[in-house]
Amino acid sequence: MNITGNTILITGGGSGIGRALAEALHARGNTVIIAGRRERVLDDVTEANPGMASMLLDIQDKADIAAFARDAVARFPALNVVLNNAGIMKDEDLVGSRDVAIAEETVETNLLGPIRLTAALLPHLLKQPKATILTVSSGLAFVPLAVTPTYSATKAALHSWSMSLRHQLKGSSTQVVEIAPPYVQTELRGPEQAVDPLAMPLADFIAEVMAILETDAEEVIVERCKPLRFAAENGNLAGVFAMVNGQH
């Protein structure tokens, strides 16, 4: 994709990978709008990056997504890129607990959120000369982390959905690009992850992602994520699964 001169909406843009991508894309001359539920966090990002805009969005609220999409198009008629980044990752005890609240919240955020927002924005995006829909899945879409079963499942579903959307949009002016991060130093699972030496440094991840985005790649798979992404193709799914889950 062309990574300059766009008007880009990024969900979950207040922290972690979302914020880092927002800042990298902003630095490349794009108009960037970050969205999320925490106004103070969004304000901190926009104050640190003059010219960046923000909008409040509850990605778990179907009605809010619809209203948000209408407002976003009205405020930013040149909007031509949406980056579905917002997500949550929580441990679940599938054996010892019958409470499915975490599973429901995870599906609502990680899967239905991107589906609903993309559906709401797609008519507008299809009118643009060139548009891009980006989804953020995970290396765990291909090799699940057993303690976060619904997270892993929603990312696998998002990968599959992205493939289908890409096929259905073939021949249109809108492309679909999937970014599958490995284990990265963010606070997705808590502050300890941000300093975990086993995780990929966030700055290194962003630099590699930006370089791949400049190509025509349909999937953004950094080197650190390739053992996960291609475990099945390489005939090593069981071994990689054991490695991933032996560390937790």
Going by C-alpha positions, the residue among 115, 247, 101, 97 that lies closest to residue 176 is: 115
- Give the H/E segment covering residue 34: strand 31-36
Q: Annotated catalytic residue: which of 85, 116, 132, 151?
A: 151
Asked whether the beta carbons of 166 and 160 are under 8 A apart, the reply is no
Give the integer Cα–Cα distance in Å for 110 and 115: 9
Three-state DSSP class for residue 227: helix
What's the rounded Cα separation, in Å, for the pair 166 and 172? 10
Query: H or E element: which one contains 186?
Result: none
151 catalytic? Reply is: yes
Give CA torsion, residues 97, 103, 105, 108, to 10 deg: -160
Judged by DSSP in three states, 67 sits in: helix
Token match 């923000």: residue?
54
Euclidean distance between CA atoms 21 and 10, whole angstroms? 9
Catalytic residue numbers, as ranges: 151
